[in-house]
Amino acid sequence: METGIVIDERYQNHDMGALHVESPKRFAAILDMIKTEISFPYLKIKPRAATEDEILWNHSVAHLDTLKNTAGQERVDLDPDTSTSALSYETALLAVGGLFQSLDFMLAGDIKNAFAPVRPPGHHAESGQAMGFCLFNNIALSAEYLLRQKGQKRILIIDWDLHHGNGTQNSFYHRSDVLYFSPHQFPLYPGTGHWRETGTAAGQGYTVNIPLYPGKNDADYLYIFRNILAPIAAQFEPDTILVSAGFDVAASDPLGGMEITAEGFGALTAEVRSLAHNLSQDRLLIALEGGYDLHALRQGAKQVLLQLSGTADKPAVAPSPSPRLEHELKPVFTHLKSFWKL
């Protein structure tokens, strides 16, 4: 088995209300797809709960206590977009722990890669604040797990969510052991992620933001991955690649203006899987972030899994940028050439 999948129905226990787009139905849609449409053999990964000490690698004691105190309460509002239900704290610990378990199996050689459709999502969560539907920063904590507990030296985080992952960026903005790469719609929530944001102190150049106007399609994203991500990743030489996979860049998503198809998600996964094969001994973990059109989420996640498992042909998407994309990327290339060979 090449691929592991984190599966636990308790990921539906976090519920911010019947009208909230980040709903338990998201996990249910993916789980139904796995049960009915995935035929390749995979390792079912049962999550554990992350410990409080592990959460404190990336979050403040005050933030941990705030979320811990929501346990058992029907509803606690944390920001205008983010709230908890009675089991949200427990579910958030399982989200982090699901990624940790995936990495354990990967490093033990039981699998090459994994998909973790966990919730709540995480990339907006700051050290001391829940925001943007996110409670704990699952991906940032996974990078810390690899660096602190597994002896790794360099972690690449690719964030293809519609929105900029402010929490993940800020976790490593001053460091060179984690490279954060984010194409995202801009300007949009949370307002961060300009191409000038490239890190401070020892972290200069290790944050790579690709702010994009709406309307970018499969070919545009693939061009960015091949012409910016690939050469930078090759120079960085990561030990493991982590992906914050937002399916809200799908053409039908209610929150965004991008035009990625299910085939496009497969193409991006194939590209990242190739990078992992060449650079990180196949070690690749893809974790769920956004994505609020349930059909697009289901079909996008299916293509991610087919590419991770190697059971589907690589999608025939040509990396041909639109003239508008080339114009938008000119200052990005110029700025990044101060740090990387492009």
Q: In whole angstroms, what is the distance from residue 236 CA to residue 226 CA?
A: 15
123 pLDDT more than 90: yes
At 270, which helix (H) or strand (E)? helix 262-279
Mean pLDDT taken over the chain: 97
**Residues 221-259: tens digit of each pLDDT:** 999 999 999 999 999 999 999 999 999 999 999 999 999
Which residue in the block uniquely carries the two structure tokens 């990339």?
Answer: 123
114 pLDDT more than 90: yes
- The residue ranges of every structural domain in the chain are 3-336
- What local confidence, expressed as pLDDT, does residue 318 receive? 86
Q: In whole angstroms, what is the distance from residue 207 CA to residue 224 CA?
A: 15
At 331, which helix (H) or strand (E)? helix 323-336
| Active site residues per annotation | 124
Helical H segments across 38-109, by residue range:
52-55, 61-68, 88-107
Q: Domain 3-336, what architecture?
A: 3-Layer(aba) Sandwich (3.40)
Is 205 in contact with 338 (CB distance < 8 Å)?
yes
**Residues 296-313: tens digit of each pLDDT:** 999 999 999 999 999 999
168 pLDDT more than 90: yes
The answer to whether the Cα torsion of 23, 135, 125, 266 is positive or negative is: negative
What torsion do the CA atoms of 205, 207, 210, 211 make, to the nearest 10 degrees?
Answer: -120
The answer to whether the Cα torsion of 191, 136, 84, 243 is positive or negative is: positive
Tokens of 247: 């399916």
**Residues 198-227: tens digit of each pLDDT:** 999 999 999 999 999 999 999 999 999 999
Q: Report the b/e string of 19-47 with b at 16+ CB within 10 A.
A: eebbbbebbebbbebbeeebeeebbebeb
Q: In which band, very low, low, confident or very high, does the pLDDT at 80 lie, cut at 50, 70 and 90?
A: very high
- What local confidence, expressed as pLDDT, does residue 66 receive? 98
Average pLDDT (103-117) is 98
- Give every CB contact of residue 99 below 8 A, 6+ residues apart in sequence: 6, 116, 118, 138, 139, 141, 142, 145, 285, 287
CB-side neighbour CA atoms (13 Å) of 159: 33
For the chain, give the number of residues: 342
